[in-house]
Chain A
Amino acid sequence: MTRLIFRLPDGSTRAVEATNGTSVMQAAIQGNIRGIEAECGGACACATCHVYVDEAFAGLVPPPEPDERDMLEGVAAERRSNSRLACQITMNEEMDGLTVQIPDRQF
């Protein structure tokens, strides 16, 4: 299990324990984190699990594949250089403490 921290739009934070091998999106759903919609269930088809990865962890998260980069063009909230789709980030033990910010909207 690896600790994953969500920074919510209201400024509060929530920590969840994520099983290695699951995605940040799946961990959010399991942990009842609001603001991750994940309408397509992780197929990289809807862009409603948008998160901003904390800069401190940028090096630990592999860069997005072309499909994800493409889908990020369609996110509802502001797209930033650290924008990612949570369904495409797979947790591993090196990511302990990974912090992601939930944007203000997914639609």
Chain B
Amino acid sequence: MGGHVVAIGASHAGVQFVAALRELGHDGPITLIGEEVAWPYQRPPLSKAFMAGSTAPDNMALRGPDFFDMSGIVTRLGIAVRAIDRARQQVVLSDGETVDYDALLLATGTRPRPWPGGPMPEGVFALRSLGDAACLRTAAEHASGPVVIVGGGYIGLELAATLRGKGGHDVTVVEAAPRLLARAASSDLSALVARRHAEAGVRLRTDVGVTEIDARDGKVVAVRLNDGSVLPAALVVLGIGVVPNQELAMEAGLPCENGIIVDRQCQTLDPAIFAAGDCTLHPNRFAGGMIRLECVQNAHDQARTAAAVLMGQEASYDTVPWFWSDQFGMKLQTAGLVEGSVRSVPRGAPEGGRGAFYHFGPDGCLKAVETVNMPAEHMLARKLLAAGVSPPADQIADPGHDLRGLLSKPL
């Protein structure tokens, strides 16, 4: 395959894809198009080390400054794509220029779900890009009043931990669901995280919605909740989920639901167009159906799969989902998908700061393992899930029992 390969999106998935293509021996031209001007960078530190001021943007680069030049990859950064013309195999850039492709990757990611009701007053932020993070960090340094975080998901809680822990701010997290991390974590882990946040002085308001964001002279002053309470706020962060950037695909006639639909080869309906990362709705054996995942692992692994398929290899995406979070000195790692699990078995002492929760589906099979400050257990869990091995509950509950033995047994 020596044709021109174009990738739209220059973050984790797009960069991994073009790098993998070169490693696999593609010698035709490659163009990487990204809307952000910033050099492609790691997103996970935005809510953690970058927000805390302990890492500089240089240290967040996904690749070195001369990587793309040396690899013969043309970068078009700071430019948006307006349309995909599938008949002509062209992408149309926002300045009207067209770029021909023989194969195309959509790695368009997601954007923060906007607050309904239009423009927000000064002092209200969302977090997706390095630019967002830089603005929020500066605002937090200067904020002289309380911080309200709307949304108790991973991003909201990481920000709460950073702003409370490193910044010493008065922080309240408001979550509409009855518990924190309702989507991505078990109730066991979410209770543990809630306790840790409360101990550190973060106020948590669950099961209550935000009705209004109040401003005075164009600046945010308070957040109103549907139980009638009013939270004064100098700074508000909206972490209420994301929406996939799928408009380009939809307008080009590619099937989309909650994400651009791809198969196990990361191919869309159009065999010349692949998609990878947060923007895809894909079949996933660990989800037992179609799912859209928002994590670095999925971005990298789908990108590698797409590159391999494009290079004519027999490849399909079949990796255990995993992600991590760092909050108040806790390293939280999840392997597999908690959703749909019906029974959990603790291991060690997660409440004491080191342990795990093993989660099982209705069929008794292991679905996910959440670990707290137990990275080796997390690595083991990924292997157990990949191999389809479900450890017996009594072995899990016995912290002295080495579960690694389960992997060496002949299947």
Contact = CB atoms under 8 A, between A and B. Distances in A.
B376 A29 contact: no
A32 B333 contact: no
Interface string A19-33: 000110010011110
B255 interface: no
Given A32-B64, A32-B67, A74-B382, A39 B297 contact: yes
A56 interface: no
A87 B206 CA distance: 37
Interface in B294-330: 296-297, 300, 324, 326
Interface stretch (B55-63, B81-89, B90-98, B210-218): B55-63
A42 B42 CA distance: 10
What secondary structure prevails in chain B residues at the interface with A? helix
Contacts of B62: 29
Most chain A beta carbons < 10 A, residue from B42, B60, B62, B67: B42
Q: Which of A22, A30, A31 has the most CB of B within 10 A?
A: A30
Given A43-B49, A45-B375, 9 more contacts: A34-B23, A40-B44, A41-B44, A45-B324, A70-B375, A71-B376, A71-B379, A74-B379, A74-B383
A73 interface: yes
Contacts of B374: 70
A39 B296 contact: yes
A44 interface: yes
Given A22-B59, A30-B61, A43-B44, A74 B375 contact: yes
Interface residues of A, number: 21
Contact of B376 (A22, A31, A39, A70): A70
28 contacts: A23-B59, A29-B62, A30-B58, A30-B61, A32-B64, A32-B66, A32-B67, A39-B297, A40-B44, A42-B42, A42-B49, A42-B59, A43-B45, A44-B375, A45-B324, A45-B333, A67-B373, A70-B376, A71-B375, A71-B376, A73-B376, A73-B380, A74-B375, A74-B376, A74-B378, A74-B380, A74-B382, A74-B383
B65 interface: yes
A32 B375 contact: no
A41 B296 CA distance: 10
Interface in A1-59: 22-23, 26, 29-32, 34, 39-45, 47
B70 interface: yes
Interface of A: 22-23, 26, 29-32, 34, 39-45, 47, 67, 70-71, 73-74
A48 to B, nearest CB: 9
Contact of B65 (A30, A34, A45, A73): A30
Contact of A41 (B42, B65, B333, B382): B42
Contact of A31 (B42, B58, B64, B380): B64
Contacts of A29: 61-64
Contacts of A30: 58, 61, 64-65
B331 interface: yes
Interface in B371-394: 373-376, 378-380, 382-383
The 10 closest A-B pairs by CB, nearest first: A74-B379, A41-B42, A70-B376, A70-B375, A45-B324, A73-B376, A30-B64, A71-B375, A32-B64, A26-B59
A25 to B, nearest CB: 9
Given A41-B44, A45-B375, A32 B70 contact: yes
Contact of B324 (A34, A40, A74): A40
